Structures are given as structure tokens and as C-alpha cells.
């Protein structure tokens, strides 16, 4: 299995057979075209390790081979700050502990780092980098790239949910009583749709008695 697919599966539960990896690459590539950046990466969150890991780089194959799997501590650097603050960050960092491809010469001159959030959970960070001396990204560039990061969060979160459902369906059989309740609801929906409101009201009352009121 390619390293990128392995990291996505290990930390996000993304199925290797899904089209999510290709979709993520396309989102990064499109974001780079819109912001004029030659290279961008997706860094996945390693929650237990308190760090980000380079999981994908678009724009330069040598960079991807050099960067893949390298860690960035949370809260450090532009990417770490984006992860910690959950806000897009723009800056001109000097990576001291990240090994770059020798073909690139110096390190990045300018970076956009945008958090990738699925639901209310941080999944990683998208970065866009420029290497030309004096390169700077604008606030509009950051806002635009943040939009692509938001779309990436939706895509990754949706794929995670689908993977969990597929993984859980054979291993977690549904309670027969729950199946019976669902069957009754289906029958009422077909034959007596006018009775669904009463049935829902009764079930809601039972839910509140057994579990208390739902959380706001």
C-alpha cells in the first residue's frame, strides 16, 4: 500500500479503495492554482503523538518522497499554529527540522496553513508553500485556501463515516427489538401515514422518560 494511503487509513480510517485520496489531491492542486503556490501538502493529525505528519504533497514528487511521514509538533511553526488555533495562518517560516528535497535548494519562503476540520474534530492541516525569494501570500490567498481546506474536511469526514458504517455493520448486529420498531414504523408509513405523528410522539415521550431530555 502506498505510504499516503497507509497514513490516511491509520489516522483517519479512510478506506484504501476509496477515491478520497484522489479527491484530496485534486483539492490541493486546485488550491495551488488559485493561490499561485507551486507546492502544497496535507498533514494528518496524530492525536496520540501530539503532532502533524506529512501525508501527501502535491506539486513536486521529490518533495513528497522527502516529506512524507515527517512530523511537526502541534503549536510549532505555521502549520502547528493553524492546528492549535483552528484558524488559517500565513507566514514566512524557516523549517529547521524538516528535511526538504535536495533539488529544491532552500526551504519555503512563504506558507499558508489551513486547518482541516470534519464535524467539530481537527483532522489535519493543508499547506501551500512558495519558494521564490520574497514570496508572500495575501489575506485573500489565505481565505481562498481555507475554503479548500473546509471542503477537504467535509470530504474526509464523509468518507470516515462511510468506512465506519461499513466496518460496523457485520460486526455489530442490530438488536431484534430495534428491528421490530423500525419494521412497525415502515408499515405505518406505508399503510397509515396519518398515525406516524402519534407514534413519534409516543416514542419521544419514552425517550425522555428513559434518557432524559436531549442535549441542547
Q: Over the range 168-207, which residues count as b (16 or more CB within 10 Å of their CB) and which as e? A: eeeeeeeeeeeeeeeeeeeebeeeeeeeeeeeeeeeeeee
Which is more confident, 96 or 207?
207
Mean pLDDT for all residues in the chain: 82
Which is more confident, 24 or 183?
24
Q: How many whole angstroms separate alpha carbon 39 and alpha carbon 29?
A: 8
> What digits encode the pLDDT tens for the residues 144-203?
999 999 999 999 998 888 877 776 644 444 456 666 666 676 676 677 777 767 777 676
Look up residue 74 and give its three cell numbers: 502541534
Q: Which of 14-23, 40-49, 183-192 is predicted least confidently?
A: 183-192
For the domain spanning 3-168, the CATH number is 3.30.450.40
Q: How many whole angstroms separate alpha carbon 109 and alpha carbon 133?
A: 6
> What digits encode the pLDDT tens for the residues 89-126?
999 865 555 555 444 455 788 999 999 999 889 999 99
| pLDDT score for 147 | 95
Average pLDDT over residues 48-61: 93
Amino acid at each position: 500500500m502506498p505510504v499516503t494511503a497507509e497514513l490516511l487509513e491509520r489516522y483517519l480510517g479512510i478506506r484504501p479503495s476509496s477515491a478520497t485520496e484522489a479527491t484530496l489531491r485534486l483539492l490541493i492542486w486546485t488550491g495551488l492554482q488559485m493561490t499561485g503556490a507551486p507546492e502544497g501538502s496535507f498533514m494528518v493529525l496524530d492525536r496520540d503523538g501530539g503532532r502533524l505528519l506529512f501525508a501527501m504533497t502535491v506539486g513536486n514528487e521529490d518533495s513528497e518522497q522527502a516529506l512524507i511521514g515527517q512530523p511537526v509538533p502541534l503549536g510549532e511553526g505555521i502549520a502547528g499554529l493553524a492546528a492549535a488555533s483552528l484558524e488559517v495562518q500565513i507566514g514566512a517560516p524557516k523549517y529547521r527540522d524538516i528535511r526538504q528535497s535536495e533539488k529544491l535548494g532552500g526551504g519555503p519562503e512563504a506558507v499558508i496553513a489551513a486547518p482541516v476540520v470534519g464535524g467539530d474534530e481537527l483532522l489535519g492541516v493543508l499547506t501551500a508553500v512558495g519558494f521564490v525569494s520574497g514570496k508572500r501570500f495575501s489575506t485573500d490567498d489565505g481565505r481562498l485556501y481555507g475554503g479548500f481546506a473546509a471542503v477537504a474536511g467535509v470530504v474526509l469526514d464523509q468518507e470516515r463515516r462511510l468506512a465506519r458504517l461499513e466496518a460496523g455493520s457485520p460486526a455489530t448486529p442490530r438488536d431484534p427489538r430495534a428491528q421490530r420498531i423500525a419494521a412497525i414504523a415502515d408499515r405505518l408509513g406505508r399503510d397509515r401515514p396519518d398515525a406516524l405523528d402519534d407514534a413519534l410522539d409516543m416514542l419521544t415521550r419514552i425517550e425522555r422518560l428513559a434518557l432524559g431530555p436531549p442535549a441542547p
